[in-house]
Amino acid sequence: MSIFDDARRGALIGARLDNWLRPDYSALNSQDPSTGWTLLATAVVSGIPNQVEQLLKRGAKANLRCRNGETPLLLAAWKTLMERPLIVQMLLSYVPKKSIDHTCDLAENNTPLMWAIERLDVDSVRLLAKAGARLHIKNDDGFDAVEVAKNTGKHSVRNALYPEKEQSYLARLASNVITFGRHVVSWVDNKFNGFMGKVFGFKGEHHKSAEKPAPEEPTPQEFIKHVDTYVKDTPALEAFFKDNKEFMQDIAKKAVDLANDPTTDLGSPEVLPKTIKVTMHQQVIYCDDSSSMVNAKGTAEKRWENQKSLALRIARTMTRILPDREGVALRFINQTTNESPSLDLEGIGRALDLADPKGNTPIGTTLRERILKPLVFNPLAVGKLKRPLLVSVLTDGGPTPEAPGTLASVIVECGNDLERKGYPRDCVKFLIGQVGSSKEAVEFLDTLRDNPAIASVSHIFAGRMDDKFKSFRDERSLDRWLVETLFKPLAAAEAKKKEG
């Protein structure tokens, strides 16, 4: 097994990469004797973004040519089959502008831009064009990038060669604060299979290409009316956002930006509606910091490290579409760090690093005292919740020293208090997942799964959440899975309403 074998199978990450480099750091820029590709080029073609990112951060030369003259960027556009736009984007952050068009005889002198065009990869074409890839270099057949694009017959590919014009068009779509105006809604509605029409109950004027003029924008009053329609049709939101149009407008703008981001599936037709709905909830990540997270007997599981990685990724994913002034709350069972309800990604990471696992697992008691009391019960007492909540509960065992039914009874108490104050009980929802292989955790979660009193506001993850998280080898699938998982409690609440 060689370092190149590990790169081909996607294993060249973290400690394994460091172990290879520790005795011989020159391996970072070496060539595979069998293929002639550099280590970075090998990782690029594997289609695993994490490998590429870690090699670049450790100093792998982004424009170093392989034996036959290929550069990693050329191979990314030419040979990479998975995660091509994300890998191209990573490389462009390190490649000097003068090297962007480097090609070789083996590639028939097609530049990276030409190969992206040949692959009909609009996202990569746009990224390369934005970075300054030249349009009029000739390949061995005498064609330049513009002619290659024309030969594809795809307007989207041709338009992507001119990102400034594209951006100008999209900027018109998202101009001023009326981000979901008629023309924006038409564009989003086309892209997302009628979602906007179904959710907001209105349509814009359809247009087929960027060459047509944008339709007239609605007035602010018209936009607010459409937002009101959506909010009023969703009782769990109506209590919160009827007087907070700015929050909706900010999310609207971020949603359009997300739809144009080639590095993630959060803006894809299937995922964007769920991303928006989940993001409307105040996210609370509730972590188990009991001693068993680091002292589990008879197992080599890195439960604490796995939970930290999972929590940080949930925070990273869910802040993608949040307004800049909003963030995520982080709480632990046994200790307090930063109790802000709105931490940014850096704050989440810092709080996770400062936490020191020790103690028992009074999971329900702490849920009530450190999460529900300050974020739900106290605001209800003075008459106003800021936003609905989605609490992600991560645990590696059964509750101690509290009674096994405490967590469920606290969730029921929360719903009852919401209803007494005139709010729908599903304003606060719970995703509960297991970290590690503890039998006690399995048994505990089974009692929650079988409890009809909390079924309408909770989802109990099936299996080990940390194992599933670690199984993903690409960023797109991971983002998609996280949003789908976080949406489960919302889906449970929607299903319950339909039954009722």
Share of the chain above pLDDT 90, in %: 52
Instruction: Check residue 173 and give its pLDDT.
Output: 30
Residue 350 inside a domain? The answer is yes
237 and 360 share a domain? no
* Residue 355 clears pLDDT 80, i.e. is over it: yes
64 and 137 share a domain? yes
Instruction: Check residue 235 and give its pLDDT.
Output: 58
Q: Could you tell me if residue 383 is left (phi over 0), alpha (psi between -120 and 50 degrees) or otherwise beta?
A: left
* Residue 16 clears pLDDT 60, i.e. is over it: yes
64 and 45 share a domain? yes
> Residues 6 or more apart from 96 whose CB is under 8 A from it?
63
Mean pLDDT of the residues in the chain: 82
pLDDT band at 219 (very low <50, low <70, confident <90, very high): very low
For residue 493, which of 433, 402, 418 has the smallest C-alpha distance? 418
Residue 380 inside a domain? The answer is yes
Q: Could you tell me if residue 70 is left (phi over 0), alpha (psi between -120 and 50 degrees) or otherwise beta?
A: beta
Residue 307 inside a domain? The answer is yes
Sheet with 329-332, edge to edge strand ranges: 329-332, 282-287, 389-395, 428-434, 458-464
Of 24-28, 184-188, 391-395, minimum mean pLDDT range: 184-188
* Residue 371 clears pLDDT 70, i.e. is over it: yes
* Residue 193 clears pLDDT 60, i.e. is over it: no
Residue 269 inside a domain? The answer is no
Instruction: Check residue 198 and give its pLDDT.
Output: 44
Residue 266 inside a domain? The answer is no
306 and 222 share a domain? no
403 and 488 share a domain? yes
Of 220-229, 257-266, 339-348, minimum mean pLDDT range: 220-229
* Residue 249 clears pLDDT 80, i.e. is over it: no
307 and 217 share a domain? no
| Contact (CB, 8 A) for 266 and 483 | yes
* Residue 267 clears pLDDT 50, i.e. is over it: yes
Q: Among 200, 226, 261, where does a domain finish? A: 261
pLDDT in tens, 71-95: 999 999 999 988 888 899 999 999 9
Q: How far, in Å, CA of 44 to CA of 76, rounded?
A: 6
- Domain boundaries, position 220: 169-261
* Residue 208 clears pLDDT 50, i.e. is over it: no
* Residue 465 clears pLDDT 60, i.e. is over it: yes
pLDDT in tens, 109-162: 999 999 999 999 988 998 999 899 999 999 999 999 999 999 999 887 888 898
More confident residue, 343 or 211: 343
| Contact (CB, 8 A) for 70 and 41 | yes
253 and 282 share a domain? no
Q: Among 227, 261, 295, where does a domain finish? A: 261
3-state helix, strand, coil in the chain (%, to 5): 55, 5, 40
10-13's contacts with Cβ under 8 Å and 24+ in sequence apart are 10/46, 10/47, 10/48, 10/51, 10/473, 12/39, 12/43, 12/51, 12/54, 12/55, 13/48, 13/50, 13/51, 13/54
Query: Which of 245-249, 368-372, 424-428 holds the top average pLDDT?
Result: 368-372
pLDDT in tens, 314-341: 999 888 888 877 899 999 999 988 888 8
More confident residue, 463 or 225: 463
Instruction: Check residue 196 and give its pLDDT.
Output: 41
Other residues' Cβ atoms within 10 Å of the Cβ of residue 377:
17
88 and 173 share a domain? no
CB burial of 282-309 (b: ≥16 within 10 Å; e: otherwise) equals bbbbbbbbbebbbebeeeebbbbebbbe
pLDDT band at 163 (very low <50, low <70, confident <90, very high): confident
Domain with 60 in it: what CATH number? 1.25.40.20
Residue 271 inside a domain? The answer is no
Cis peptide before 357 (omega within 30 of 0): no
Split into its structural domains, the chain has a count of 3
DSSP 387-434: S-EEEEEEESS--BSS-TTHHHHHHHHHHHHHHHTTS-GGGEEEEEEE
Give mean pLDDT, residues 431-454: 93
Instruction: Check residue 168 and give its pLDDT.
Output: 45
* Residue 220 clears pLDDT 60, i.e. is over it: no
pTM of the model: 0.59
Measured over the CA atoms of residue 70, residue 72, residue 77 and residue 79, the dihedral's sign is positive
Instruction: Check residue 178 and give its pLDDT.
Output: 28
Residues in the chain: 500
Residue 435 inside a domain? The answer is yes
105 and 201 share a domain? no
186 and 83 share a domain? no
Q: How do 458-464 and 282-287 pair as beta strands?
A: unpaired
pLDDT band at 107 (very low <50, low <70, confident <90, very high): very high
Residue 83 inside a domain? The answer is yes
* Residue 240 clears pLDDT 70, i.e. is over it: no
Instruction: Check residue 78 and give its pLDDT.
Output: 96
For residue 35, which of 78, 82, 68 has the smallest C-alpha distance? 68
| Contact (CB, 8 A) for 65 and 102 | yes
339 and 367 share a domain? yes
Q: Among 128, 161, 194, where does a domain finish? A: 161
pLDDT band at 362 (very low <50, low <70, confident <90, very high): very high
Give mean pLDDT, residues 50-54: 89
Give mean pLDDT, residues 278-298: 87
320 and 459 share a domain? yes
| Tokens, residue 486 | 């976080």
Domain with 476 in it: what CATH number? 3.40.50.410
Instruction: Check residue 194 and give its pLDDT.
Output: 46
Q: HSE of 243 in the Cβ direction (CA atoms, 13 Å)?
A: 6
